[in-house]
Chain A
Amino acid sequence: QKEVEQNSGPLSVPEGAIASLNCTYSDRVSQSFFWYRQYSGKSPELIMSIYSNGDKEDGRFTAQLNKASQYVSLLIRDSQPSDSATYLCAVSPGTASKLTFGTGTRLQVTL
């Protein structure tokens, strides 16, 4: 079983719609959760971090965490073509610890 699992996609959504990206993790002691965006040929860029159950909103992005279900998601509202990228979920067992990445979900926002 992979430690961090993501659907590879591609997930295709029309411009202006909500994109929903999901991630599950296997290590119950995980404490820190991150979403990174990676454009093709570029390095990852941190877009959201979340540490406690519930929702965290930042602009068009909302991260949702459910530790009981070992599930973290990212919602992107009003999706734009510039959001087309691979979104990586990363999990850490504690504070200031190393990250384990999922394989990423490729998002395509269509005009």
Chain B
Amino acid sequence: GAVVSQHPSWVICKSGTSVKIECRSLDFQATTMFWYRQFPKQSLMLMATSNEGSKATYEQGVEKDKFLINHASLTLSTLTVTSAHPEDSSFYICSARDRTSARYNEQFFGPGTRLTVL
């Protein structure tokens, strides 16, 4: 149980284009999803928290107009990197929490999406 998928697993795009990353909870309803970014040899940095049906809460320093988050259903959240630039190249990972579960404190991570912007 508690399986989270992400698509695509990797993407290469040109500078200035937009990239959409999907995060799905496969066997539970994720009332809350989180988006992280991880640069090489660094720890995970939380970008934003999204709750189904409401606006995402962004962490300080994260541009909400650049990183668009949509949590339209209980099993799907999307992150769109708009007008991507090489400095946006990173490993983007989502996690999900099942608030109806006894393990609701725990976050389960997707496999990640490696974004390379040329």
* A residues in contact (CB < 8 Å) with B: 32, 34, 36, 42-46, 49, 51, 88, 92, 95-96, 98-104
Contacts and interface: CB of A to CB of B under 8 A. Distances in A.
A92 B93 contact: no
Given A43-B112, A44-B109, A46-B106, A96 B44 contact: no
A102 B104 CA distance: 21
A102 B111 contact: no
Given A43-B93, A88-B44, A101-B44, A96 B109 contact: no
Contacts of B49: 98
B107 A46 contact: yes
Contacts of A42: 111-112
Interface residues of B, number: 20
B75 interface: no
User: Which residue, of A43, A44, A49, A99, has the highest number of chain B Cβ atoms within 10 A?
Assistant: A43
Contacts, number: 46
Pick the 4 closest A-B CB pairs, nearest first.
A43-B112, A103-B43, A43-B109, A101-B43
A49 B43 contact: no
Interface of B: 32, 34, 42-44, 46, 49, 93, 97, 99, 103-112
22 contacts: A34-B106, A42-B111, A42-B112, A43-B93, A43-B109, A43-B110, A43-B112, A46-B106, A46-B107, A46-B109, A51-B105, A88-B43, A88-B44, A92-B105, A96-B32, A96-B97, A98-B49, A99-B46, A100-B46, A101-B44, A103-B42, A104-B43
Nearest to B94: A43
A51 B102 CA distance: 13
Contacts of B99: 96
Contacts of A34: 106-107
B109 A99 contact: no
B31 to A, nearest CB: 9
B43 A46 contact: no
